[in-house]
Structure 1
């Protein structure tokens, strides 16, 4: 039983465990129905690019549809107070439309840093930075360095 269910404040270890379970259950098991266990209904994602779905289910659904074999590996988890920082590698094969990018069948690996603020056992804010340029280069959408014309 976690600290929140026992009526105690969440510890940094509890918060890190919540983030790890989020990646395991929602991303790796493709279980968007479990989002409510991890994300507050009023959560704010500060880094969703304009033109992409804003809700967590829609935003993650876009990624999981484009990369149905996606796997997230949590490389590092750091916590301080109510924030958890996750350094994560994502691997997957581009099999579905990703915005305006049609499926290319190419495998990619993308590194990301995500910061979550957690209150009462739920993610209430998110900031993230992913190496999107490298992802676009791996997909062949953007030429690699030295091949720009």
Structure 2
């Protein structure tokens, strides 16, 4: 399989996932597919990964992936990008917040015989949980936001004084 075909397969995988066509997604996974995801105590087999994908897709039914880089090297395809979506369904016990998220990710997929055999996924889950309001912002970010707000107030005050 050429590098271009591998790239097309992976991009089609995300396109079908975003559309919600999980039957097409499942067809792209090898029978002995394995996924390695952070926070999971062990690799996910095809069926467990399918359940995880269903849960994630239900939590973000309008999910959209966009890609900044797609790199093909040998039997692996690396994708780097972001996904966006509105939290509208239960996410691992977290009730819907109605908040929009933008989450960066890097994925590596190994292709064998035209199917995805292995998947390694890393995403900014802490950032996502902060956007959902589950984890508070770090103090330095709150101070940074406060400093920006104070600067704006001072600039407006100076402008008002100059006008009078």
Taking structure 1 as the reference length, the TM-score comes to: 0.86
After the TM superposition, list the runs of 4 or more consecutive aligned residues in structure 1 that deviate by more than 4 angstroms. Answer: none
TM-superposed CA distance for 1:59, in Å, is 1.2
**Corresponding position of 2:14:** 23
- The whole-number CA distance in structure 1 between the counterparts of 2:95 and 2:140 is 22
Stretches of structure 1 that go unaligned for 5 or more consecutive residues are: 1-9
SS at match of 1:20: helix
Query: What's the RMSD between the two structures over aligned residues?
Result: 2.0
Instruction: Decide whether aligned partners of structure 1 residues 69 and 52 sit closer, same or farther in structure 2, where only a CA change above 3 A counts.
Output: farther
Partner of 2:80: 87
Structure with bigger RCO (C-alpha 8 Å, 6+ apart): 1
Assess, with a 3 A threshold, how the Cα gap between structure 1 residues 101 and 53 changes in structure 2: closer, same or farther. Answer: farther
CA distance in 1, matches of 2:39, 2:70: 24
Query: d(CA) in 2 for partners of 1:64 and 1:115?
Result: 20
Q: TM-score, normalised by structure 2?
A: 0.78
Aligned to 1:43: 33
Aligned pair count reads: 138
**Higher CA-based Rg:** 2
Higher helix share: 2
- How many angstroms does 1:73 deviate by? 1.2
Contact kept in structure 1, 2:35 and 2:43, CA below 8 Å: no
| Structure 2 runs not aligned, ≥5 long | 142-164
